[in-house]
């Protein structure tokens, strides 16, 4: 795969202003910081971004604000999946027209027990609807959230029908056997959805990871991805896993935002959009006291 579809892509958290609106300047600032810390790019509008709690107009605005704020479009891989085919087409076309590196496509997730034929028809209609503004598509498999998923036989079928378009997969199932089996597709960018197993996944053919933990630990995860095949990777894997475990002990999105708030000194980062809730004060204090998390925070000022 081209180099821009490898490495650490961060599903960037979305900050909200006191009004409840997306705080676009703060989002852009955060994205620039992550790239400076070693992230290859930003998987804006992902699960950690609370994308499915944003309107289509808000999602377009996030893409546009990143680019207007100086983040190169080739560093963006937006999530454009939607239960409504028209919304998915509109967002995917917008990302392509903006020059984004590709898009992450959730399956249409409202109706359950959907057949592979139905999902194939969805993708085919989306590609037809995008026309000349069809970006590279990475299928986003997260069955624990969507319930609907991309089966490996369906991916093989989509690859055969649209080889220049269906170019990869973010697999958040946690099932490494899917990574190993998908590696036979060839020229197919596979990203596990967590840094916790990235060394093992890359040994099976993955090219990096798309990880929520990158919001608070980008430098270490990017370094781990870069040295995944080297002996020092084992020690680095243990260290990043400690951070991921601390975040995962509580609600992941709220935990990520609580840590960003502590790292930046901006308490507004703790806001989430309903139906999600912020961590309680007890949860927040406990999280920030975790040794792996405390190591990521600025040192307190020393009184003199």
Which positions are catalytic? Answer: 140, 170
Burial environment of residue 303 by CB neighbours within 10 A (0 to 12, 13 to 18, 19 or more): exposed
* Helical pair 233-248 and 214-226, crossing angle rounded to 10 deg: 160
Q: For the sheet containing 41-42, what is the strand order?
A: 41-42, 7-10, 208-210
**Helix, strand, or coil (residue 178):** helix
Distance CA 182, CA 201 (A): 11
3-state secondary structure of 104: strand
């Amino acid at each position: 795969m081209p180099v821009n579809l490898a490495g650490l892509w961060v599903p960037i958290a979305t900050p909200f202003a006191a009004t409840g609106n997306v705080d676009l300047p703060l989002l852009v600032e955060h994205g620039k910081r992550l790239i400076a810390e070693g992230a290859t790019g930003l998987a804006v509008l992902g699960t950690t971004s609370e994308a499915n709690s944003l309107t289509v107009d808000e999602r377009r605005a996030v893409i546009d604000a990143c680019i207007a704020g100086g983040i190169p479009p080739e560093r963006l891989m937006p999530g454009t999946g939607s239960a409504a085919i028209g919304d998915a087409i509109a967002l995917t076309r917008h990302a392509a027209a903006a020059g984004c590196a590709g898009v992450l496509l959730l399956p249409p997730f409202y109706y359950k027990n959907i057949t592979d034929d139905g999902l194939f028809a969805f993708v085919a209609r989306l590609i037809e609807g995008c026309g000349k503004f069809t970006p590279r598509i990475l299928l986003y498999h997260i069955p624990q959230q969507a319930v609907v998923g991309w089966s490996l036989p369906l991916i093989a079928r989509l690859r055969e029908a649209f080889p220049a378009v269906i170019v990869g997969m973010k697999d958040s199932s946690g099932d490494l056997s899917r990574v190993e089996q998908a590696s036979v597709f060839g020229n197919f960018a596979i990203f596990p959805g967590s840094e916790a197993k990235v060394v093992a996944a890359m040994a099976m053919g993955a090219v990096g990871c798309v990880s929520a933990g990158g919001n608070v630990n980008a430098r270490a995860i990017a370094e781990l991805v870069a040295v995944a095949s080297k002996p020092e990777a084992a020690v680095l894997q243990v260290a990043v896993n400690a951070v991921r475990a601390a975040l995962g002990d509580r609600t992941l999105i709220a935990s990520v935002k609580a840590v960003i708030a502590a790292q930046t000194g901006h308490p507004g980062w703790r806001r989430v959009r309903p139906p999600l809730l912020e961590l309680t004060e007890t949860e927040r204090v406990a999280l920030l006291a975790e040794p792996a998390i405390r190591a990521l925070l600025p040192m307190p000022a020393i009184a003199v």
